[in-house]
Amino acid sequence: MPYEAISVFDIFKIGVGPSSSHTLGPWQAARRFVQSLEEKGQLQEIIQLRVLLYGSLAKTGKGHGTDVAIQLGLCGEDPVSFAVDQIDARIRDITTMHKLLLNGKHEVEFNPAEDIEFLFAETLPFHPNAMTILVKLQHGTDLAETYYSVGGGFVIKEGEEKAAGSSVQLPFPINTADDLLHWSIKTGMSISDIVLENENTWRKEEETRLAALNIWRVMKECMYRGCHTTGILPGGLLVNRRAAALNQKLLAGKVYTDYNGWLSAIRTGGNNFKYTLDWVSCFALAVNEENASFGRVVTAPTNGAAGVIPAVLNYYIAFCDGNQEEKVVQFLLAAGEIGSIFKKGATLSAAMGGCQAEIGVSSAMAAAGLTECMGGSQKQVMMAAEIAMEHHLGLTCDPIGGLVQVPCIERNTMGAIKAITASQLALQSTPDFAKVSLDAVIKTMWETALDMNHKYKETADGGLAINVPLSLPEC
């Protein structure tokens, strides 16, 4: 049977907020476009360029920074390494000068206000997140390419086949949760060990471990930064950052200078339920406040849900004595594979499936990772992921003002807490008696997505997005 080979590091991508589908995806599509023209020797021939945004990319593109991301992508900048504190200055220069340096090499006239067009009433059939780049070359030739940002930073160019198979031969081919469980039971290997063996197809084992630890480094730096940054989030909603104030209140004057010192200070407060609950919320708030501020984040599996996995992993490290590199690797490998299975069987795109595709999937991933690290069996890991998603089914995406702020930031706290609860339930249960399988809940999620009204799919046309005045200063 054909299977899609997806690496854990396709699920976990380092990039820039606030959205994987509306920021990172369009950024990568624009960058890919100019790089492909340079490879064909056509970059220097471009004399005019326009971008058309369709569907959800048009309706919430401004709030998600789609136009900003596209300009940076056309300049050839890499979202993994571009200095986020330089974004405003770069965009201001382009807007003022009306010039774009394509792939950092070829300058063309470009006015963002006129040359990026938001087609609010038009949607392309393949996916709601669509963009077309139009260029005019010397000698009068016109070129056009259409790209779809299909969720989680994944991009498909029109005309490409959606990966139904793969030339990569994995030792343990996986499309479904049953496939993963089959290989685990057959070999006796843990979920994370199965995933590690598959990752060895792409790179050496030590490189995979280092890459996973690098993902965690970016996550924890984002979380630490968010816990120590005050102010008001950009975009006009006037939402106050809350993580720093909560962090300060919980630590009550304790002194530290880095993440390790911060972690030690957190641990001195004990582990009673209220204290732990406050910290999980603080961790999640911190990441998504950074995400809303065009900060450096890890797509997990999306930017809008980027706070769930760091919050749950940091909970495990701080309150479950899990501060071991091997445990971090196990957590991310198990979580990443669950995200991959959701992508194959349903979607990671809120524009296709509502917020169940973002917070729901991230919660399932985190529940699986935590259960793996807490010593759960393979079936308990699957059960934890199923429980977490089961209780996110039907969750809509209704960002107020098209911004990834309200209710998105708080939803990460809910997803994190549900993940921990799901893990505890699975660890105290016998999965053989479970009524609902992970594959059944993924199928149900996809059917729910197909039935969901379009106005609840990241369009800001329904829900809180139309029922809450934009002038409110708080969530």
Answer yes or no: is pLDDT of 196 > 80: yes
* pLDDT for the residue 399: 94
Answer yes or no: is pLDDT of 473 > 70: no
Mean pLDDT computed over 318-337: 96
Domain locations along the chain: 18-157, 177-467
* pLDDT for the residue 140: 87
Q: For residues 251 and 254, what is the distance between their CA atoms, to the nearest angstrom?
A: 6
Produce one character per residue of 220-257: b if its CB has 16 or more CB atoms within 10 Å, e if not: bbbbbbbbebeeebbbebebebbbbebbeebbeeeeee
Contacts of 395 (CB under 8 A, 6+ apart): 354, 355, 356, 359, 360, 411
H helix runs in 40-106, sequence order:
55-59, 61-64, 66-74, 87-97
* pLDDT for the residue 139: 85
Q: Is 214 exposed, middle or buried (0-12, 13-18, 19+ CB in 10 A)?
A: middle
Mean pLDDT computed over 360-377: 98
* pLDDT for the residue 472: 45
* pLDDT for the residue 161: 63
Q: What is the CATH number of domain 18-157?
A: 3.30.1330.90
Question: Is there a contact between 108 and 43 (Cβ–Cβ < 8 Å)?
Answer: no
Indicate the average pLDDT of the chain.
95
Entry pTM = 0.94
Contacts of 24 (CB under 8 A, 6+ apart): 13, 15, 16, 69, 79, 153, 299, 303
Phi, psi dihedral angles at 83 (to 5 degrees): -65, 115
Query: How confident is the model over 338-361, as pLDDT tens digits?
Result: 999 999 999 999 999 999 999 999
Question: Is there a contact between 135 and 46 (Cβ–Cβ < 8 Å)?
Answer: yes
Answer yes or no: is pLDDT of 474 > 80: no
Q: For residues 109 and 91, what is the distance between their CA atoms, to the nearest angstrom?
A: 14
Mean pLDDT computed over 72-87: 96
Structure tokens at 412: 């990460």
Answer yes or no: is pLDDT of 206 > 50: yes
Query: How confident is the model over 293-318, as pLDDT tens digits?
Result: 999 999 999 999 999 999 999 999 99
Query: How confident is the model over 112-166, as pLDDT tens digits?
Result: 999 999 999 999 999 999 999 999 999 889 999 999 999 999 999 998 865 444 5
